[in-house]
Structure 1
């Protein structure tokens, strides 16, 4: 790594305050069954989700499709990328919907969890945004770019910057790339921040690479506002429904998986998000 790259790792300030109080416990009347036991299919399926677009999509299913399919669905919103998986692992929720496979693979490896994907639902293109700059060509040496600090989204962000000529990565750098894998930063300074805080960081940096769901929550329009946006073709970052291993055949999970890949959900996504969220149905690759 070149010496002119500055690292500023900042602790997350939002979202974690939700804590485990944001979800029911396994002993709560409204909570899910014990993760190690047989699911009680008479209870609602409790799904942890990021607010936008995941919870929005789930609530569309809940309000319009679930009853007809014989599914009771409860949606628990989280605003970070850790608690949904730990709550699923512990049995505090039955499933989650917020992440892509590179992130889950890394999370399972680091945390010792046993979460598995069920079905792909959508893709949120990662984008580079700025409140100060109007074009990629405006980004110069000495300016700052904030990027997500979790392993897979950091690598994904660096690839987006490299694909658009802002930096050069070392040969062979993949999804788990980090700042030390930058061959030439072209004078750009980087700040690593928790993903949920990146929209608020736009006032303090020249640009930021922001995950699609957080961009939408911040009223950014990826198709219009992004200086650079990921391409959908061949993209491995589809978001999916996930459960703790062994719960894939829970009849409630199977019903929800089918509904999430329905023509009604496809139309809802296309009508609601105007290209900022793209249907990506099918088995997880």
Structure 2
């Protein structure tokens, strides 16, 4: 009798353990799945990127894809949010910026999905109307951050103002200037403040987004403009895990469609150009 009771108790105990682990005779609950009808969240910075993505959103809805545009006020947060799974992708940076980010944060595992637009950097002046009028020893304003500073130096080298150790280096600094025959004085300033400082310098190399704020059109108001095949084209970025998601291919098709290209051309009137 005692042996039979022990067996019963052991059976009950085992069943109790099975209930905890997997359910003893009960229904096994499936793990929650992502809602296939939920919109894909795309991170952007406020301004042109947001305006373009709003148009992509409209085109995507016609194509059966729901998009939620999430705006950020800085360039750091969109990559952090994407790496943490809060976004499906983002559209707010160029390739060198992504490379610099991944160098600092290799665990992010972010990848370029496709090319988007070009925000052409250009050379402006509040004093001179022609390049030939720029004097020897002129003061040239460029951004002081590594990415945009290097880009400005590449523009100056491409236009013949200076020579660099490597004319294709996206990490160039003033220390890489090998020739400066006209003894130009390079003044490094915060990129956003350069348009306001233009009266205090002879020429300035300004990012398109800050030029737009200052009501400067790179296609009309600049002395010289960056070549379109520059290495600073903006890109659509996602995670390695999302890279082969069919919605990425769908977004690429929509973003690079003739309809979206027409919107970019007409809306920005040459201040921002398609990079595809």
TM-score range, shorter chain: 0.7 to 0.9
What corresponds to 1:88 in structure 2? 82
Q: Which of 225, 230, 233 in structure 2 is aligned with 1:229?
A: 225
Counterparts of 2:196 and 2:73, CA distance in 1: 14
What corresponds to 2:70 in structure 1? 76
- Asked if 1:209 is matched to 2:205, the reply is yes
Q: Which of 231, 236, 241 in structure 1 is aligned with 2:236?
A: 241
Counterparts of 1:201 and 1:180, CA distance in 2: 23
What corresponds to 1:98 in structure 2? 92
Secondary structure at the aligned position of 2:231 is classed as: coil
- Following TM superposition, by how much is the alpha carbon of 1:221 offset from its aligned partner in structure 2, in angstroms? 0.8
Unaligned 5+ segments in structure 2 are: 1-31
- Following TM superposition, by how much is the alpha carbon of 1:39 offset from its aligned partner in structure 2, in angstroms? 6.1
- Following TM superposition, by how much is the alpha carbon of 1:40 offset from its aligned partner in structure 2, in angstroms? 4.9
Counterparts of 2:79 and 2:242, CA distance in 1: 14
Counterparts of 2:124 and 2:179, CA distance in 1: 21
What corresponds to 2:256 in structure 1? 261
Counterparts of 1:108 and 1:38, CA distance in 2: 30
What corresponds to 2:5 in structure 1? none
TM-score, with structure 1 as normaliser: 0.74
Aligned-residue CA RMSD in angstroms?
2.7
Q: Is the 8 A contact 1:41 1:252 kept in 2?
A: no
Counterparts of 2:117 and 2:88, CA distance in 1: 20
1:149-188 CA deviation, whole Å, 9 max, x = no partner? Answer: 3433322211111222222323566221111001234433
- Asked if 1:188 is matched to 2:184, the reply is yes
Counterparts of 1:48 and 1:197, CA distance in 2: 26
Q: Is the 8 A contact 1:55 1:77 kept in 2?
A: yes
Q: Is the 8 A contact 2:83 2:239 kept in 1?
A: yes
TM-score, with structure 2 as normaliser: 0.76
Counterparts of 2:242 and 2:144, CA distance in 1: 30
> In structure 2, do the counterparts of structure 1 residues 50 and 134 end up closer, same or farther at CA, with 3 Å as the change threshold?
farther
What corresponds to 1:121 in structure 2? 116
Q: Which of 124, 137, 142 in structure 2 is aligned with 1:147?
A: 142
> In structure 2, do the counterparts of structure 1 residues 75 and 215 end up closer, same or farther at CA, with 3 Å as the change threshold?
farther
Q: Which of 131, 143, 152 in structure 2 is aligned with 1:157?
A: 152
> In structure 2, do the counterparts of structure 1 residues 55 and 196 end up closer, same or farther at CA, with 3 Å as the change threshold?
farther
Q: Is the 8 A contact 2:157 2:167 kept in 1?
A: no
1:188-220 CA deviation, whole Å, 9 max, x = no partner? Answer: 333334444443443554332222233234321
Structure ranking higher on relative contact order (CA contacts 8 Å, 6+ apart):
1
- Following TM superposition, by how much is the alpha carbon of 1:259 offset from its aligned partner in structure 2, in angstroms? 1.0
Bigger mean CA deviation after superposition, 192-201 or 220-229:
192-201
What corresponds to 2:271 in structure 1? 276
Q: How many residues of Structure 1 are paired with residues of Structure 2 in the alignment?
A: 243
Counterparts of 1:229 and 1:266, CA distance in 2: 21
Decide which structure has the larger Cα Rg and report it: 2
Secondary structure at the aligned position of 1:224 is classed as: coil
